[in-house]
Each structure stands twice: as C-alpha cells, then as structure tokens.
A = this chain, B = another copy of it.
Amino acid sequence: MRLSRYFLPVLKENPSEAQIVSHRLMLRAGMIKQQSAGIYSWLPLGFKVLRKIENIVHQEQARAGHIPMQMPTLQSADLWRESGRYDGYGEEMLRMQDRHGRDMLFSPTAEELFTDVFRAHVNSYKDLPLTLYQIQWKFRDEIRPRFGVMRGREFYMKDGYTFDLTKEDALHAYNRHLVSYLRTYERMGLQAIPMRADSGPIGGDNTHEFLVLAETGESEVFYDREITDLKFGDRQIDYDNVEQCQAVLEEFTSRYARTDETHDEALFNEVPEERRRVARGIEVGQIFYFGTKYSEAMGATVQGPDGKPGEVHMGSHGIGVSRLLGAIIEASHDENGIIWPEGVTPFHVGIVNLKQGDDEADAACDALYQSFTAAGLEPLYDDRKERAGGKFATMDLIGLPWRITVGPRGLKNGVVELTCRRTGASEELPPEQAVQKIIEIYAPHRVHVF
C-alpha cells in the first residue's frame, strides 16, 4: 500500500476522551473512530489488525478440529425464554421489537442459539463429540462503556460451544480449548495466563480466564512468578489425545494464578514469598464447562448407545477478538506508539523515502515495494512529500515491526537502513539483503488459503 493512496487519519494531539494508552494510541493511529458511546467504526488500519487476529483464531480453531459457522446478530426472544435467561439478563441485553411487534434481541452471547441448532440436527451419540464456534459481533449495553474497544458495547468475539456425551469428554474438550488458546495467544505475541475464574450466575464448576499482564488491566491478579516462564512454543499436540491435553492443562494451571474474584489469601501465602506477584491483568478469553444447564432447559438430548435418550454436557469458550487489539497494545507499546508483534501487524514493513521526488530514491523504493509484494508481503510505502521526521513519527506511531529507510546518501553506497521498531536497532545493508531478511522473519507467519 502506498500511503498517498491509503486512508490513515493519524492524530497529532492526544485525544482527551482516552484514559488508557491503547485507546489513545488506537485513536491517534487512525484505527478507530467512536460513533456512539462504546460503538466504534473500524478505520482501515484497525480493521486490518482485526482481520489478522480473526484469521489466527480461525486457523487455530481449525487445528483443534473445531467447526466454524455463524449465527445471526439478532435473535428472537423466544429461545431466551426457553433457557430462562430472557428476564434475568438485565439491562445489558439490547431488546427491540420488529415491525410485527415480535420481541427480538441483539445477541450478547449464543448458548441458546447453538443449543437450538444442536437439538434440531443432532440425534445420536455417534455424532459426538462436536465443537461448533463462530466469530461474530455481539452487543452488551454496558452502563458505562470505557477504555475504547476494551470495554465497548458492540464487540467482536469468538464463542465456541462443545457438546459431549459425558462430563469426562466435556472436560477433554475444555482442556483442548485451553491448549488451543495458549497457542492462539502466543501467535499474537501475547502471554495470556489461565487463571481460575468465578463461574458467576451462568453456573458451572470448571472455568479459567486468560489474562494478559498490563498495568492498565481492569482486574487485580495474584500469581506465582514461575508461571511467566512457561512457553507453549512449537510443541506438536495431538488434540484428540486426552493425556497430552491434560498434561498441558496441568503444566499451565498447577501454580497459583487467580483474579481478585477467586483470590484465596491463605493459598496464595503457600507460594514462596519471592515468587508471589500481585499485578493487573486484562481478560482476553474464558473457557467454561457448565454441564447440562442449557441442554436440559432446552431439551437437547441424543440417543445413547443403549437406545435411550442421553444427556449432553456442554461448555462455552470465548476469545475477545476486538478487545485483543487493546490488550496487545497495552502489552506492547512505548512512548512513540504501538509496537505490533509480527503475527498481527497490519503491514509487514514500512518503507520511508527520505527524498520523495528524487529519481534514484523513488526507483529504489519502488523496487523494494515490488520485491515485497512479489514475495506475498504487504509493505506500507510512505511516498508522501513530507519531512523525514514526520514520516518516522507516523511509522513509530502505527507500530510496524520493521522499517526500511531509503535515501540518496545510502543509495550512493548501495545500502538502505533496516530498523527494528522494538529495539530501535538499525543496520545498513544492500536492498536485496534487507528484503531477504524481512521475508525470513515472516516465514513462520505465512499461511496459504483459498
């Protein structure tokens, strides 16, 4: 993309309405624009990161064998009356009537709809286990939306639902989600720690939240420092293998890690003092086994091996896709702007032309642009007639991990400058070597799709 043809409305001033850094940086970098309280337009740069995150979630769900589909945003109130949640959900649920006076609502979550699809189409234990999920816009009418996309009203979420014949199978599905989520977050450059969560009004026994450590997090968290040494890394997991998934769960959840909602001071004090940490965290996901709550209420059963109707054990498992943009920025920025992890960066490399209009500099930038594009990478080329300082400031603000600076002086020596956003380190090297280096950096993030 050439910046002269893109729509990147960066702001020079700090917007006064933003209280936390991710909100401020998303506004300043031209990623979002507020349309109403807690409702945002996703400007091109913001939308591009949103799609990258969405794609990683889809790819990791596919790896775990989960099946994508999509529910409508609007639903009939009837299903929620069946489950008993229509009256209890409160004012966070946005309700409306259609032109025929039928009660409708904007889905804040989708247990009812998925259970409805399940009971309509699944009859036999032979069709289990089954995990269906969607990534879809949800709405919760927060009384006081704040922190930009971190606590908006309209938000983009992955919600998955597991259907199993026994509690044992359902807990394997739970563990499989935990493993899959660890991989998912790491691909986005995040360390998200599973912490024991409170099951709340939805009911249920087993639930973990995934929290990203950040000073601006909304939750206070208490954990054993050893946890932060754990890496999921490149390990090959067979998602059907009960023992493998269980072992990962134990590895990542055996140490103390709780939010203020479930914190137990006495237990925490059993952790050696030098390893106890109190910090703040941002919730970016939750896994939840809740048994037969919805399947019973809505009459979802399957015929068991004995020919009799058997109960269905369910869980629901969520990732806050739009919220992740905020969490990633909270965890990865400096005083000059965002620092995108390679896995989610909107463009792979920035090209800064120090002397737009100079034939040699222009030609060198065009050649770099072509090389990256031919390699399937997306460069952002700042081809505006602006001063170098302004161009650098924009690149730093929007946070591309790598920048190539092209100027007449370097070109005389046959080199361009390659700069790492995170470390600030620069090196001079011939253009084709810079291209090769960038291609290698992104090789692990490449996927083929149709």
A interface residues with partner B (beta carbon < 8 Å) = 5-7, 9, 30, 33, 35-36, 39-44, 46-48, 50, 52, 55, 65, 67-76, 79, 91-92, 94-96, 98-99, 102, 104, 106, 113, 116-117, 120-122, 127, 130, 132, 134, 137, 139, 141, 143, 153-154, 348, 376-378, 442, 445-450
Contacts and interface: CB of A to CB of B under 8 A. Distances in A.
A109 to B, nearest CB: 15
A36 B91 contact: no
A121 B65 contact: no
A52 B450 contact: yes
A74 B41 contact: no
B6 A67 contact: yes
Contacts of A40: 72
Given A70-B50, A106-B74, A141-B99, A5 B39 contact: no
A227 to B, nearest CB: 30
- The quantity of this chain's copies bound in the complex is 2
Contact of A36 (B65, B76, B137, B143): B76
A74 B72 CA distance: 14
Contacts of A127: 7
A117 B8 CA distance: 12
A41 B113 contact: yes
A104 B39 CA distance: 11
Nearest to A448: B376
Given A43-B117, A44-B69, A50-B70, 17 more contacts: A7-B121, A7-B127, A9-B122, A35-B76, A36-B104, A39-B75, A41-B117, A42-B71, A44-B67, A46-B69, A47-B134, A73-B73, A73-B154, A74-B153, A98-B153, A377-B450, A445-B450
Most B CB contacts (10 A, CB to CB) among A30, A71, A116 go to: A71
Given A9-B121, A141-B99, A378-B450, A113 B70 contact: no
B448 A139 contact: no
